[in-house]
Amino acid sequence: MPQKLDQLVEMFQMFDPADRTNLLLSYADQFRDVPREIAARPFPKSHQVPQCESDAYVWARRQSDGTLKLYFAVENPSGVSAKALAAILDKTLSGLPASEIAQVNTDIVEKIFRQNISMGKGIGLMSMVQAVATLAKAAASTRQASD
């Protein structure tokens, strides 16, 4: 798993529930909507995260140095957890090579959110992680094909 993300997950696992909630909230506050130059509403379904009740979207764009930058949109104003995860993924994965981002694992959702996932409703969050991995794998394949 990408090192920065791994370190953050470890930190989350050391926190008690109150601190974990506060940290997640601080990440949600740092969420930035996808800029218009990347995508404008209405967003294409092809970028919609499946099975996410917060109506989230994700994009991956290759930067000039060959690394990927992730962008997200969360259309449900109540989607605080989705925004928190989007911000975490952006901050820990953007700027990495596609092949490295592709290693991200859905296990991080339970490790990060713990009690903040209510009775099996973490599927949408795992789906967001999976969507990022899928985009990264596709970008990595494209890069290989053109090499």
Partner 1 sequence: MASPIDQRGYAHPEVLVSTEWVEQHLNDPKVRLVESNEDTLLYASGHVPGAVHVDWTADLNDQIRRDYITREGFEALMSKIGATKDTTVVFYGDKNNWWACYAFWVFQLFGHTNARVMDGGRIKWLKENKPLSRDVPSYPKTRYAAGERNDAPIRAFRDDVLAHLKKQGQLVDVRSPEEYAGTRMHMPDYPNEGALRGGHIPGAKSIPWAKAINPDEGTFKAAAELQKLYCEDNRLSPTGDTIAYCRIGERSSHTWFALTYLLGFQRVRNYDGSWTEWGNLVGVPIER
Shortest CB 117 distance to partner 1, Å: 8
Indicate the residue type of 64: S
In the bound state with partner 1, the residue whose beta carbon lies nearer, of 72 and 101, is 72
In the bound state with partner 1, the residue whose beta carbon lies nearer, of 62 and 114, is 114
Using CB under 8 A as the criterion, which residues of the chain lie in contact with partner 1 when the complex forms? 21-22, 24-25, 28, 51-54, 77-81, 84, 115-124
Q: Please spell the DSSP secondary structure of 68-133, one letter per residue.
A: EEEEEEE--TT-HHHHHHHHHHHHHHTTB-HHHHTT--THHHHHHHGGGS-TTTTHHHHHHHHHHH
Beta bridge partners of 57: 48, 73
Shortest CB 137 distance to partner 1, Å: 22
In the bound state with partner 1, the residue whose beta carbon lies nearer, of 14 and 119, is 119
Q: How many CB atoms are located within 10 Å of the residue 106 CB? A: 16
Shortest CB 17 distance to partner 1, Å: 9
